[in-house]
Structure 1
Amino acid sequence: MPISRPRSRLRALLSSMSFWVVVALILGLLVGAMVEVSGSAALTGAIEAVEPLGGVWLNALRITVIPLVFAMLVTGIVSIADAASTGRLAVRALVVFGIMLTAATIYAILAGLGLLNLWPIDPVAGQALLSGIPGDSIAAVGEAAHTDGLRAFLNSLAPSNLIKAAADDGVLGVVVFAIAFGFAATRLEPRLRTPLALFFEATAEAVVVIVHWVLLAAPIGVFALALGVGLRAGVGAAGVLGHYIAIVCLSQIGVIILVYLAVRVFGKIGFGRFSQAIAPAQVVAFSTQSSLASLPVMVERARDYLGVSHASAGLVLPLAVAVFRLTSPVANLAVCLYAAQLYGVPLGIAALIAGGLTAIAVSIASVGLPGQVSFFASVGPICLAMGVPIGVLPLLLAVEVIPDILRTIGNVTADLAATRIIAGDDEAETEPAAAGI
């Protein structure tokens, strides 16, 4: 999907807005905690009057999830099919991307559950944090029944009424239908497929504009939610948010380490040479938080330092930036597993499978979106598919800046590793002396 000018402006806006969202979170927690300490009934009433603004803002974001994911899934699948039709190398790349995404998703579930088992959320602090979240958002806990049990899980894959499934937050069924619809669109003749793909691309762009408008109010919405959390949980809520950042970052660091191991085994390149070759691209990823902005450096490092042919680097890396985000299922599932433990939602094997399948699907659908947009477009559907409430997501969004840096670094690292693996020995050029290793 092409990156439009409105989306570029949105990315620039969000890069500065992240600062104000963090400020709003901290200020809301402090003000709420100070009012709680003061014991003033008038100030407490004032906060309780402002709190509903946070719920309204959350609902405005939530309403965009289904149409955005559906439209982007369709256009993403059509673009993948178009890429596959370009030749053998593109098909090979898509196969490698698929294998790596599947492995990363399995790792994400195991790592997320393992980390939270070894380092669980403080139950008292967690409940105090949730006490400041609007009560209606917690009602979704009962939706876990949709994915508990094999029969319910299988039924959720093919709902009898798509509109009702969407209204009931039956996201998995919507995702499955969107995937089927996307593949069906690829079988149409060009005169029909092209306008259909353009329609859903335009739909996705229009919804992104709506999200843009909603996110303009992000500091206000987060401040309103943080006031309630600070009033009921005090500054102790900051400890839970810090714990959340650590869990998500550790999950991503783990998958990055696995990428280094994979490129050593399958790409047949030493750790030292690979690390030195990709370091400049990782620096650009850190500073820009954009895989697209890192693409020129990635192409240069792949060709001149990783021994990848010009043809392979020129095809595989742009394709990777367009449809491949390895850290997406890892980070998104870490968020969902954290929210599940926070809310006390038990996750059976069916819920984990539903979350994993949805994570893979939305990792393709949300490619190219700015971090704050993709956070809701990706994490929201996975939470809903697993039966986990999403009321806490705005607070987690406010501290997404640090995990988002690792997301980009991990994606760039995986893109270069996959490019080396896909090129293989048969296409690898002589190791350049410039590598120095």
Structure 2
Amino acid sequence: MGLTARILIAMLAGIVVGVLFNFLNSSQLLGSGITGVINSYLTGGLFDVIGRIFIASLKLMVVPLVLVSLVCGACALSEGHRMGPLAGKTLLLYMLTTAVAITLALCMALIVQPGVGVDVAPPGGAFQPKESPPLSDVLVNIFPTNPVAAMAQGNMLQIIVFALLMGYAISRCGEPGQRVASFFNDLNEVILRMVGVLMVFAPYGVFALLAKTFAELGVEFIWELGKYFLVVLITLLLHAFGVYSLLLKCLSGLNPVQLFKKMRPAQVFAFSTASSAATIPVTLSTVEKRLGVDNKVAAFTVPLGATINMDGTAIMQGVATAFMAQMYGIEIGLAGYLTVILTATLASIGTAGVPGVGLVMLAMVLQQVGLPLEGIALVMGVDRLLDMVRTAVNITGDAVVSVIVAKSEGALSVETFNNRNYDSVANAATP
């Protein structure tokens, strides 16, 4: 059985086990003693430990993989003087897809009106958002003062800047640079092999993560804010299968169905981990080995996309803004919605390194249009599952942009992209 099939089975099994445990816990059919054992030793014990170890193992690979892959890619790009055009295209496409995402979200929310008739009292009291940093500080903090500290803290934008600078310098150092580049290329192969070893245990990690999530949340929480939940979910799916397909077909001429089929392992990973950063090793391997994107392009576009490409988060912000305006009966008008589009698009880059970035961005957007921040506490009730879906959407966007940019740069193997033998490609890629 292929790894993709095993991961999908583990995902479904985790959901079923989680929902069953939640039902047993809420109904008390087995008595408080047995349900206490389930909660303590399985949900809060075994599943929690396995899930956290799996996430920690994924995050272990992120910094070395991004640094080494990006240094290798920057070396190759700098030799051909293509760094500037590639970076420009990538940033433009990421900002374009984010703007389209939030526009689509606002249109859906204005048509469906999920906030009409909703009780304005948020559960658990008011939400206290973290203070968003000034734009000047954000721009300065992109550039590292200490690359070792940036890697220790997992500051992806600073790591990307340092790796690009180092790769450029290596490509300009002649023979010493060639020796260093050869070392990084060999190291890149070793790190990819480490990722392959980790992927063997992926189904167990996916099962534990989803079993714990659904055991704690159940499915009934979705109905509390069902209309809002469905609008966000449908918009995410429309953006993933509609906007991305159209963009890929128009700008590269390639078949979107092929991309979606080959991205399934990475999408499952993103769904189960709800972290674009933790999914970088799988996304990068899938984009290179399954979709045929050259490493010199993928090593730049994928880590950058995991950091600043937040289409799924932008969709949540658009729907949540309209939802809260309708819920509180506040009319923000066309100018207000245009402000939401602009703020969310720019904030997707500006707040990339901030913890809890989605809620920070939402707080920034609400402040711009004068909506009360207390409503954030209400939507947080269903945000966990939506976060899992929008992370899968985000990494799909990373792959689409990577393929489009690679095609325009002549760095895409169309033969690999069109190869329908998914199993053999998957075995070579190991995601």
Check conservation: 2:105, 2:232, Cα contact below 8 A: no
Q: Tell whether 2:99 aligns with 1:110.
A: yes
User: Residue 56 of structure 1: CA displacement?
Assistant: 3.7
CA contact (8 A) 1:68 1:207 kept: yes
Task: Select 2:26's aligned residue among 33, 36, 47.
Answer: 36
Asked if 1:335 corresponds to 2:292, the answer is no
Shift of 1:233: 2.4
SS of alignment partner, residue 51 of structure 1: helix
Query: Mean Cα displacement is larger for which, 215-224 or 161-170?
Result: 161-170
TM-score for both structures, normalised by structure 2:
0.55
Equivalents in 2 of 1:412, 1:339: separation in Å?
24
Amino acid at match of 2:43: E
The gaps in structure 2 that reach 5 residues or longer are 264-285, 322-339, 362-379, 413-431
User: 1:33–1:232: 8 Å Cα contact kept in structure 2?
Assistant: no
Residue 60 of structure 1: which of 53, 58, 65 is its match?
A: 53
SS of 1:22 mapped into structure 2? helix
Q: Which moved more, 1:198-207 or 1:402-411?
A: 402-411
Is 1:257 aligned to residue 246 of structure 2?
yes
Give 1:110 shift: 1.8
Q: Shift of the alpha carbon at 1:223?
A: 0.3
> What is residue 208 of structure 2 aligned with on the other side?
220
With normalisation by structure 1, the TM-score equals: 0.55
* Residue 103 to residue 214, structure 1, CA distance change in 2 (3 Å): same
Unaligned segments of structure 1, at least 5 residues: 1-8, 132-138, 264-273, 297-315, 360-380, 423-437
Identify the match of residue 83 of structure 1 among 73, 76, 79: 76
Query: SS of the residue aligned with 1:335?
Result: helix
Letter in 1 for 2:100: A
For residues 62 and 388 of structure 1, the distance between their equivalents in structure 2, rounded to whole angstroms, comes to 23
Superposition pairs of residues 68-217 of structure 1, within 5 angstroms: 68-84=61-77, 97-119=86-108, 144-145=130-131, 148-158=133-143, 170-188=155-173, 189-199=177-187, 201-203=189-191, 205-206=193-194, 209-210=197-198, 212-213=200-201, 216-217=204-205
2:2 is the counterpart of 1:17: no
C-alpha distance 51-175 of structure 1, shift in aligned 2 (>3 A): farther
Letter in 2 for 1:157: I
Relative to 1, partners in 2 of residues 1:173 and 1:418: Cα closer, same or farther, differing over 3 Å? closer
Post-superposition CA distance 1:8-63 (Å, at most 9, x none): x9xx4244312321332244235414542458644653453233345544543443
Residue type of the alignment partner of 1:334: D
Q: How does 1:409-424 map to 2 (within 5 A)?
A: 410=400, 414=404, 418=408
2:279 aligns with: none
State yes or no: 1:356 paired with 2:349.
yes
The 2-side partners of 1:154 and 1:383 are apart by 16
SS in structure 2 of the partner of residue 148 of structure 1? coil
Q: How many residues align?
A: 339
Report the alpha carbon displacement of residue 254 of structure 1 after superposing the two structures with TM. Answer: 1.9
How many angstroms apart in 2 are the aligned matches of 1:119 and 1:46?
44
| CA spacing shift, 1:62–1:348, aligned 2, 3 Å | farther
